[in-house]
């Protein structure tokens, strides 16, 4: 009886994983049909090279497939605007508009910017659960996992490690913060000379 329960549980997990893979494959096919979309070029470095350029926690997460504790990542509670890029290669992966509060303690998104920028594969590292690992398609960085319990329209939850991401502010927001402010006195004196 116990074996039957384990077998049925495993079959259910594999069916869910297959559903995730099919959904992501459909999104990748749709993205490939868009004009002007180029497939990103691969970035390849040794672990020694990555260790020299990444913060330790980011190296452990992205290259050694570690997981940061829930609620500790800098983007878990971030609700501002921006693009989340791979901390290793800078590939833009997720838009803040696709971010939602999942209650898990990790940043969660319901879709990537372009499904061709992420890769997935089955993760058998936990003997109690088969999961679908999410990686950067450009540099193979481990980002987190994807589950099929997310909100509409995709039904997916990309549950990611903050240590695998870097936030890029939208160009308009950057420009507004860095634009020089006109001096009130200078404008008045210039107006007097005209």
**Residue 159 bears catalytic tag:** yes
Alpha-carbon distances of 98 from 17, 71, 84, 114, 157, rounded to whole Å: 21, 19, 10, 12, 10
Q: Is 119 exposed, middle or buried (0-12, 13-18, 19+ CB in 10 A)?
A: middle
Q: Which of 86, 89, 139, 159 is catalytic?
A: 159
CA 23, CA 123: separation in Å to the nearest integer? Answer: 17
CA 154, CA 176: separation in Å to the nearest integer? Answer: 33
- In degrees and rounded to multiples of 5, residue 4 shows phi and psi of -65, -40
Query: Which residues are tagged catalytic?
Result: 159
């Amino acid at each position: 009886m116990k074996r039957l329960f384990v077998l049925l549980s495993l079959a259910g997990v594999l069916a869910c994983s297959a559903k995730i893979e099919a959904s992501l494959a459909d999104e990748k096919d749709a993205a490939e049909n868009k004009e002007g979309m180029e497939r990103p070029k691969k970035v390849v470095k040794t672990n020694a090279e990555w260790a020299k350029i990444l913060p330790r926690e980011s190296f452990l997460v992205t290259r050694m497939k570690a997981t940061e504790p829930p609620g500790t990542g800098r983007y878990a509670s971030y609700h501002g605007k921006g693009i989340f890029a791979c901390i290793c290669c800078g590939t833009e992966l997720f838009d803040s508009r696709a971010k939602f509060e999942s209650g898990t303690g990790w940043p969660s998104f319901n879709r990537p910017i372009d499904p061709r920028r992420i890769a997935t594969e089955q993760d058998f590292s936990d003997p109690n659960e088969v999961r679908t690992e999410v990686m950067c398609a450009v540099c193979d960085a481990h980002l987190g996992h994807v589950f099929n319990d997310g909100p509409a329209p995709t039904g997916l939850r990309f549950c990611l490690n903050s240590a695998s991401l870097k936030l890029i502010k939208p160009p308009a927001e950057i420009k507004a913060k860095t634009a020089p402010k006109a001096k009130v006195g200078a404008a008045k004196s210039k107006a007097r000379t005209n």
